Structure 1
């Protein structure tokens, strides 16, 4: 009755209610789609593709070494990378925290960093070793095992809660990878291996190590400065990798003819690896280990582009479809923000603020 007496008031009230309904209904998809073009989303997508390109570059240099010069020293190549990481980022740690701060990190968190370094070193070893026994396609297929492993580990250890859009994005990326593998298989590129069972087991072991390494690194960089995490990785991995090098590749190093191209390819490999290990913790802090691994799937497509130029490879019809699906999966994954980890932050020092992320990079 009151609204009927005051027509203008009624109209104004009705208009306000309609506006509220529009705000409640219309922005749902607008907000989700606009989230794809925020500075944060564009940054993590860009960083992910930088890392994917780094993977491609390191694979190219390793292939050039093996095919053109008969040099296959993956442990030695990794040793140089870990050594440079240790020198650079331990130096930054000493500059920022002092020698006492570095010793405190060793005393309080060395077990975490030793475990991280051991898993990372062995992940690299298993994956490279697998190519000596199994086919390229089997290795590519089994390498995608890292993604479901990372999601599972993130749920249990980082206490993340993914929603259906995240799972749909992962599924879309894996479909894109499956199309790439199927395309190679139908083209007859399933190169034979000497021992498929051993090679496949190495692939699964390497992919599992990568998943553990990524999740553990995310756990660490969300609590401690990135320079400390990478510096400790380089320090301990140099020791572990050096021992492994002395056992496995001492003879290969003595037999290498150190020509200019060989040295150049090794330097190029280590530059790519240095960028990869330097940018990875930034992406892991800004997004998640799952997004990190989804981004790396595009490295196979980039490898194809370089393969066309450097190794006379042929592009199959389904390759662009695979790439588009992989990028689409990354976009779908980012429609909703990545879940924040809810784990208890156990690495906070006595003078740290509990449950706070480190401010220093």
Structure 2
């Protein structure tokens, strides 16, 4: 081998030893997710759930202002009862009585805690509006978003990028613009007991965050009909006990007011859709993305409020709506971070079914090779 051939061989070996530098993605490549069907599904579902939240807010406001009904526990009892009946009936159809009872035996304590947290989250947030101002309640209710992020980081081991923190911050800024617009239009009202109301709202938002992350954790490990049916089963009885203790007198306010009963029915339908589809968004995205999506509910509330409550539109509203959507899009620039446990798929469904019924797993069914 002459000297020139030796130099060429050395150059080739040097090039092979050096790892290639990865190409940096362009902004067009990073923004390609805007056309991704997965992102569009998450965005659409999130806004549908935001409309459901708007429906619950509008009916609750109408019940309090027009019909003098202030009973958060009574309102949600019918929701939990309907969810428990529908999804537990489907669970029995899918798994039989034995499988349904095994769910209680093996995971009942977790669903009891989840049901209790969800009931109290609904109770304290709705109750806070009776004591604090709308401005404070709307701002403090956003505490559920950072609670979701913190709990997901520590308990679900989700790791976020700095761009995703920026997206959350921008979305919250958009909500701040909505609240500022509410103050300008005079939608705020004086606080009766701001300290109590603010504490109630913070406590309720914390319960919401815990409930969302806990529900996401269970939805990634078990079928949705089990998750929804089980925790609403316990929530129904917890809600019933709490209603009998604190809100027995509220039943009299519904006598002779069929319109109020109709409002509760509309509230129940909205909440039924919300509780049925929220776990789907937890799987497609995350509990954090769910909370970010709900930030647009105040904008939709304005649309209903124009005719029902005489609200006025300011220039901030459309800009604030765009800012919230922009924050969600920025959060989604990088792939949505998921917990190491992954999501619920066919393989995990079969493995979960075998573990529930005490059957051998697929690995255990593999024949063991006998060494000669």
Could you tell which deviates more after superposition, 186-195 or 223-232? 186-195
Question: What corresponds to 1:273 in structure 2?
Answer: 271
Gaps in structure 1 of 5+ consecutive residues: 3-19, 355-361
Equivalent residue for 1:179, pick from 177, 180, 188: 177
Q: CA deviation at 1:190?
A: 3.1
Give me the whole-angstrom Cα distance separating, in 1, the residues matched to 2:174 and 2:280: 26
Matches within 5 A, 1:1-361: 24-25=23-24, 27-342=25-340, 348=352, 349=355, 350-351=358-359
> Helix, strand or coil for the counterpart of 1:297?
helix
TM-score if structure 2 supplies the norm length? Answer: 0.85
TM (normalized to structure 1)? 0.88
Q: By how many angstroms is 1:174 displaced?
A: 0.7
Equivalent pair of 1:55/1:296 in contact (CA under 8 Å):
yes
Q: Is the 8 A contact 1:130 1:200 kept in 2?
A: yes
Stretch of structure 1 that moved more, 223-232 or 189-198: 189-198
Q: How many residues end up aligned between the 2 structures?
A: 335
CA contact (8 A) 2:295 2:324 kept: yes
Aligned equivalents of 2:326 and 2:41: distance in 1? 17
Please report how far the alpha carbon of residue 250 of structure 1 lies from its aligned counterpart in structure 2 after TM superposition: 0.7
| Distance across 2 between alignment mates of 1:321 and 1:353 | 54
1:112/1:353 Cα in 2 relative to 1: closer, same or farther (>3 Å)? Answer: farther
Once residues 293 and 249 of structure 2 are traced to their aligned partners in structure 1, the CA distance between those partners, rounded to angstroms, is 37
Quick check: 2:133–2:189 contact (8 Å CA) kept in 1? yes
Q: Distance in 1 between matches of 2:323 and 2:28?
A: 22
Q: What SS does the corresponding residue of 1:166 show, helix, strand or coil?
A: helix
2:365 aligned residue: none
- Kept in 2, the 8 Å contact 1:159–1:343? The answer is no
How has the CA–CA distance of structure 1 residues 186 and 343 changed in structure 2, closer, same or farther, with 3 Å as cutoff? same
Range moving further from structure 2, 225-234 or 177-186: 177-186
- Structure number with greater Rg is 2
3-state secondary structure, aligned to 1:223: coil
Structure 1 residue 344: Cα displacement: 9.8
Deviation of 1:232 (Å)? 0.5
Let me know the Cα RMSD of the aligned residues. Answer: 2.2
Shift of 1:342: 2.0
Greater CA drift, 70-79 or 287-296: 70-79
| In 2, Cα distance between equivalents of 1:188 and 1:65 | 20
> How far apart are residue 315 of structure 1 and its match?
1.2
Alpha-carbon distance in 1 for matches of 2:267, 2:286 = 26
